[in-house]
Chain A
Amino acid sequence: MWVWLHRFGSPKYFYNVSGRILPWVGGVTALLILAGLYLGLFASPADYQQRDSVRIMYIHVPSAWNSMFIYLLMAAAAAIGLIWNIKIADIVAAVSAPIGASFTFITLVTGSLWGKPMWGTWWEWDARLTSELILLFLYLGYIALQSAFEDRRTAARASAVLAIVGAINVPIIYYSVQWWNTLHQPQSLGMGTSAIHPSMLWPLFLMAIGFKLLYVVILLIRTRAEVLERERNSAWVQELVQDMTGKPASDVARSNHEQR
């Protein structure tokens, strides 16, 4: 496990392996989301109370799950980077934040669009909605803190503490509907139980897996780009550039510079 982790933690190894699996993960993601969208928007039945408005669920719920999942993963990666000084972990945490912030934003917007026709309001300060909004601010604060430091190591360390402290918000979001009276309904899915009919649960399930993989795809693309940038002076990146362009990396850098 440790050997594997350290090997995967090496930027060069990560770059090579991730490049090979990326097209496969991307293909599966596209298939899952297309199938989920078709089933959710066309093939699944309308709800007995909400009619067709229920279809917002197939975007809203997977986004909401992702917004919390990505935060936990980001905080875990930041903690690993902080404790064991693993470069890849720092990069994963840093590039995850904008992705998580995007999913949080999608969750808030689709929730608002769903809330207006069903509840009769765009926004209410109930515990679930407010804690999700705080999650967005945590992501934005993390991004701001990342870019506030010149030095990458300092930036990673300072923002890691913020990410770890903010992680307490995730269980609060999750359990808010159980702990307090909220306008938002309690969760429909529990351990082995579901208050969602199978004909609607299947598309939701496909979309949820599809959205998780979509995160993985974007994460891999962004991490690879970040690895190349941070390692641009290392021998393996120079070699890579030479292989791809047929010119020494120093020439490529110079011509790029002149074009600007």
Chain B
Amino acid sequence: MRARYVAAIIVFVLITLSPLAVKLATGELRFGGGAQVGSTGGVSSTTAAVSTSSGALLVGCGESHRGADYLIVCPAKAYVISPGSVVRVNVTVKFAHPQPCPHSSWRIEVSDLNNVKVVGETSTKLVNAYTAVKTYDVKVLGNGSLTVTYYYGVGCPYGTEEVVKVLFFVVKSLPESSAQPSTSEQQAQAATTVATQPSINVTGVLTEVSTSGKYVIVDNHKIYIKGAWTCGNEEVRWRDLLNSLSADVGQVISVNAVSENGELLAVKIVAGSTTCVRGGEGG
């Protein structure tokens, strides 16, 4: 009788712990923690890295994780000196579940080509069961953007799509904070500078203010305005700021913006004699 209970307890422990043991052995132990990412390739935040290629400055990686999988697109922003330059965009999908999966009709596509042209692309390659890669060669015709979308397989319960927008800028010289480094030390320094404060200054005609979309368009740049702001000594919300900017449509304004998730986010706006700063003190 006693032996039977002991045997039953041992069987209970062994069976109950078996999925845990298997997950530990395969290195995918998680409890609702999503995909295991980072073993190969890793996930870069939008402003984590800066690299240069001939005549171009590539900044960070854009990332999307709406569903179970990750879409990582590098660079998130690319600055080129001359129009017509070709920038290589690397797309990586980190799957939460090993491939092949039952919903294998997933695909990677580019869309919303704005002032850019895709001149080359590789086929999608599975690097391992959890990673797929694809590259696009993009010709930058002017300030523009493109959207990379990873569509989950039809019927896949883990999500429908992951979207990352890549921004391209044609500049007279590469941004000051991340000028082309010459030595490895300078390169590291530039990387740190861009990683901590990657900002772009857009000065141009304010052509559109969208309160519903929370953005303004200045010199063909869509810049989002969010959160609390300080204009002079007055604290305002983004909505109030957008309402006041509506009066400046057609005027030249200057916006200092940072890139966040592939989108430009305003941090400082100078319109006429008014300076507004996100969160902090205005002038």
**A and B are partners in one complex rather than unrelated chains:** no
